[in-house]
Structure 1
């Protein structure tokens, strides 16, 4: 049985594409893509749910690992792409957080909520 497994492994490793698909160079970033997918989906949620500290930490994390992906040999462009998407999503979330809490986004939302019934009543008349 061990000889069969060894022969199968040698067959897989002889093909460059199959070798790459069976490596951590592929599966690490592929499994890590859950983070940027979640971050992109979170951009559709209310900005009052955003944690500023977590967004800052994830932004730094994304930039550090973008650098790491290019520093390893061989360069891991899939890992770079994963963290590039994550950095973009986290920067978007950071902007939304700052807009909501510090640049008047919350006040605009409250004002809009208060004036919406008045505008609806005016249209109904």
Structure 2
């Protein structure tokens, strides 16, 4: 049985393309792509849900592994691309976090919400006035 597995492994490793697709050099980055996909999808959500500490940690993590992907031999460009996308996504999330919590985004949204509420109440009062006049 061991000879069978040894023969199959030798057959796989003899073809460079198949060998690459059966290696951790390929499957590690592919499985890791869930993080940048989630970050890109989260860019559509409200900035009040963003964790500043986690965003910073993921920025450091992605920068570290971008460097690692180019430091190993052979260089792992798929891992680099995964962390490059994640770094960009996390920097975007970090900007959104800072804009919401530290640069007045929350206050602006509150002011816009108050203006919208006043507009709605003014429309409602106008409708009631029209009804009263028409009676």
State whether TM-score is above 0.5: yes
3-state SS of paired residue (2:75): coil
Question: Per-residue deviation at 1:7?
Answer: 1.5
Identify the range of structure 1 (17-26 vs 3-12) with the bigger mean alpha-carbon deviation.
3-12
Gaps of 5+ in 2: 127-135
What residue number does 1:77 align with? 77
Q: C-alpha separation between the residues in 2 aligned to 1:9 and 1:123? A: 75
Question: Per-residue deviation at 1:121?
Answer: 5.3
What residue number does 1:9 align with? 9
Question: Per-residue deviation at 1:120?
Answer: 4.1
How many residue pairs match? The answer is 125
Q: Normalising to structure 2: TM-score of the pair?
A: 0.86
Q: C-alpha separation between the residues in 2 aligned to 1:4 and 1:52? A: 52
What residue number does 2:133 align with? none
Q: C-alpha separation between the residues in 1 aligned to 2:123 and 2:80? A: 52
What aligned pairs does 1:108-123 form with structure 2 within 5 A after superposition?
A: 108-120=108-120
Question: Per-residue deviation at 1:123?
Answer: 6.3
Gaps of 5+ in 1: none
Question: Per-residue deviation at 1:2?
Answer: 2.4
* 1:96 lines up with 2:96 in the alignment: yes
3-state SS of paired residue (1:82): helix
Largest Rg, 1 or 2: 2
Cα distance per residue 1:48-103 (max 9 Å; x no partner): 11111111111011111101100000000000000000000000000000000111
Q: C-alpha separation between the residues in 1 aligned to 2:76 and 2:9? A: 23
What residue number does 1:51 align with? 51
What residue number does 1:19 align with? 19
